[in-house]
Chain A
Amino acid sequence: MPAKLVVDRLSHHYPDEYTGEDVHALDQVSLSVEDGEFSAVVGPSGCGKTTLLNILAGLLPHTEGSVQVDGREVGGPGPDRGVVFQEHAILPWRTVARNIGHGLEIQGIARSEREQRVQEFVDLVGLSGFEDRYPHELSGGMKQRCALARTLCANPVVMLMDEPFAAVDAQTRITLQEELNRIAIATRKTILFITHNVDEAAFLGDRCFIFSRRPGKLKATVKIDVPREKRIWKDLLSEKSYTDPRDEILRLVREEVFDDEE
């Protein structure tokens, strides 16, 4: 399978906003995500996860190394990489349907085709009946579904997700995780999902990249061999093919956290 996203010896430094000291955020990170693969990036807070995502999204210029999507070097934001942010980031003055169709509008797709595609993704994320609502009329979970549909609808090569379920309540999070798995099956998208939640990473990921504390380095890669169709929380909790890699990821992440507390 060809790799859709290739990160090669990526390093990043920036001056601290307050002290002006040089912060070494990422150190020689190399990883690749294959076509249709769901990859998760896990690490303690301050390991450079969000810096990595901002560089991949093209929102932050990188100082060293290379990032390629579909064989092309990344040099700024572009519609080939769709981003779902931690806070929903949908526009309050646009209805659900107009938010979801925004990417297509920017691409200059004709209205009739746009409406058809928008309806497809409204249905996919379960927002049917809410097309004409404004974001302030939706719950937190629904806003995040809307943001997800907006990104999917623009049909990016790679989806980048930055802790998208961190801001919703625990019950909604479980539902959204199962829904995202269903959507991943339906769309076969290539996804890079950033989280600090070990259970979430193991539940969603085909592969997990574990990052060390700052400067963020790729510490280990763990494969999770559970077929997507079997990823349902109530079945998975006692499934060894899930619990074994989950415990392994937990052990690796804890090493980083407890190092801190000597």
Chain B
Amino acid sequence: MSFIKGGGIELVLLIVGILALWSVLSQNIPNPSRYLPSPVSVVLSSYDVIWKGLLPNYIGQTLWRLVIGSAIGLLLGIPFGIALGLNRTVSDMFYPIMNFFQSISGIAILPIIVVWWGNSEKTVFVVILYTCFFPIAFNVLTGVRSTPMILVNALRTLGASRLRIVKDVLIPSAMPHIATGARLGIGYAWRAVIAGEMLAGRRGLGWMIFTAQDADLTAQVILGMVMIGVIWIMIDRFALRPIEADTIQRWGLVQR
């Protein structure tokens, strides 16, 4: 986050510059309220939704889905990745399959999920879970597989059981990969939850953007987009990065 700590003024100037460019653009096109409302009208439109209590409610809904969906994704993905990584033959077999599913994004599987479960809350959760499970499990598997054999052998010669080796060597050794997998997975899940809300028609930020477009409220569409970006930066800055830094950097596994 050095660009915030070190260059605070530069960042503010950059944002001001973008806003200025945006204002100029919106004043020089016909019908700006439909094609590109100015930053001021986006802020004004937020007054309306905040006043009605809709925006906080929608943000809460979307965050709730992200937290529950990715928590289940982590709870299932981490043990699954570890279990696969324990056996060379099993992991060699699953590796390409995991890689395959990791490449099919949540948005690409949404249509078939809608066919199966319709426009329900379940559909949204399944898409989030699917989206974060594979990058998490795949990265954990990679982490377990890349554990130096010499560390495992050292523990074996100290008389360690298999369970002890998993706990004391494989899991800590896979930590940088687990952290990467979690960050990637939760990042993908954040995109998936917005897409899921749009297509499966549930309240939330995605739903807000979608219905605003229908009602020709472009300012609200842009407001929703800005909220998605701002909230993600806050999640990354205040939740994901500190966890990563706290464990991995202290062990000297990742030098910055």
A: which residues have CB within 8 A of B? Answer: 57-59, 77-79, 81-83, 85, 87, 89-93, 102-103, 106-107, 134-137, 147, 150, 154
- In B155-205, the 8 Å CB interface with A consists of 155-161, 164, 168-169, 172-173, 175
B157 touches A77 (CB 8 A): yes
A59 touches B153 (CB 8 A): yes
B: which residues have CB within 8 A of A? Answer: 150-151, 153-161, 164, 168-169, 172-173, 175, 250-253
Query: Could you say which residues of chain B place their CB within 8 Å of the CB of A81?
Result: 157
A85–B253 CA distance with the chains assembled, in angstroms: 21
Residue of B nearest to A102 (CB): B158
13 chain-A/chain-B pairs, Cβ below 8 angstroms: A57-B153, A58-B157, A59-B157, A77-B156, A89-B151, A89-B153, A92-B253, A102-B168, A103-B158, A106-B158, A136-B251, A137-B252, A154-B159
Query: Could you say which residues of chain B place their CB within 8 Å of the CB of A135?
Result: 252
Query: Could you say which residues of chain B place their CB within 8 Å of the CB of A83?
Result: 153-154, 157
Query: Could you say which residues of chain A place their CB within 8 Å of the CB of B253?
Result: 92-93
On whether A91 and B168 interact (CB within 8 A), knowing A59-B153, A134-B252, the answer reads yes
Residue of B nearest to A150 (CB): B158
Residue of A nearest to B247 (CB): A93
A106 touches B251 (CB 8 A): no
A106 touches B154 (CB 8 A): no
A91 touches B252 (CB 8 A): no
B157 touches A93 (CB 8 A): no
On whether A89 and B169 interact (CB within 8 A), knowing A59-B156, A77-B159, A107-B159, the answer reads no
Residue of B nearest to A160 (CB): B157
Expressed in whole angstroms, the minimum distance between the Cβ of A96 and any Cβ of chain B is 13
A85 touches B153 (CB 8 A): yes
Residue of B nearest to A76 (CB): B156
B157 touches A106 (CB 8 A): no
Expressed in whole angstroms, the minimum distance between the Cβ of A157 and any Cβ of chain B is 12
Query: Could you say which residues of chain A place their CB within 8 Å of the CB of B157?
Result: 57-59, 77-79, 81-83
Residue among B151, B164, B250 making CB contact with A106, cutoff 8 Å = B164
Expressed in whole angstroms, the minimum distance between the Cβ of A99 and any Cβ of chain B is 10
Residue with the greatest number of chain A CB neighbours at <10 A, chosen from B153, B157, B159, B252 = B157
Query: Could you say which residues of chain A place their CB within 8 Å of the CB of B160?
Result: 106
Task: Please give me the 7 A-B residue pairs with the lowest Cβ-Cβ distance, nearest first.
Answer: A136-B252, A79-B159, A89-B154, A77-B156, A83-B157, A93-B172, A93-B251
Q: Using a Cβ cutoff of 8 Å, how many contacts connect chains A and B?
A: 66
Query: Could you say which residues of chain B place their CB within 8 Å of the CB of A92?
Result: 251-253
On whether A91 and B172 interact (CB within 8 A), knowing A83-B154, A135-B252, A136-B251, the answer reads yes
A81–B157 CA distance with the chains assembled, in angstroms: 7
A227–B238 CA distance with the chains assembled, in angstroms: 63
B251 touches A134 (CB 8 A): yes
Query: Could you say which residues of chain B place their CB within 8 Å of the CB of A136?
Result: 251-252
A134–B249 CA distance with the chains assembled, in angstroms: 11
Query: Could you say which residues of chain B place their CB within 8 Å of the CB of A106?
Result: 155, 158-161, 164
A103–B151 CA distance with the chains assembled, in angstroms: 13
A79 touches B158 (CB 8 A): yes
Query: Could you say which residues of chain B place their CB within 8 Å of the CB of A59?
Result: 153, 156-157
Residue of A nearest to B161 (CB): A106
A204–B172 CA distance with the chains assembled, in angstroms: 37
A103–B252 CA distance with the chains assembled, in angstroms: 23
A87 touches B150 (CB 8 A): yes
Query: Could you say which residues of chain A place their CB within 8 Å of the CB of B252?
Result: 92, 134-137
Residue among A78, A82, A91, A107 making CB contact with B169, cutoff 8 Å = A91
Expressed in whole angstroms, the minimum distance between the Cβ of B168 and any Cβ of chain A is 7
Residue with the greatest number of chain A CB neighbours at <10 A, chosen from B159, B164, B173, B253 = B159
Additional A-B contact list (11), CB under 8 Å, known A77-B159, A134-B251: A58-B156, A58-B157, A83-B153, A85-B154, A89-B151, A89-B153, A93-B172, A93-B175, A134-B250, A137-B252, A154-B158
A91–B158 CA distance with the chains assembled, in angstroms: 13
Residue of B nearest to A54 (CB): B153
Residue of B nearest to A89 (CB): B154
Query: Could you say which residues of chain B place their CB within 8 Å of the CB of A150?
Result: 158
Residue of B nearest to A79 (CB): B159
Query: Could you say which residues of chain A place their CB within 8 Å of the CB of B151?
Result: 89, 91
Residue of B nearest to A85 (CB): B150
Residue with the greatest number of chain B CB neighbours at <10 A, chosen from A87, A106, A135 = A106
A103–B160 CA distance with the chains assembled, in angstroms: 8
Expressed in whole angstroms, the minimum distance between the Cβ of B224 and any Cβ of chain A is 42
Expressed in whole angstroms, the minimum distance between the Cβ of A199 and any Cβ of chain B is 26
A81–B173 CA distance with the chains assembled, in angstroms: 25
Expressed in whole angstroms, the minimum distance between the Cβ of A135 and any Cβ of chain B is 7
Expressed in whole angstroms, the minimum distance between the Cβ of B213 and any Cβ of chain A is 49
Query: Could you say which residues of chain B place their CB within 8 Å of the CB of A93?
Result: 172-173, 175, 251, 253
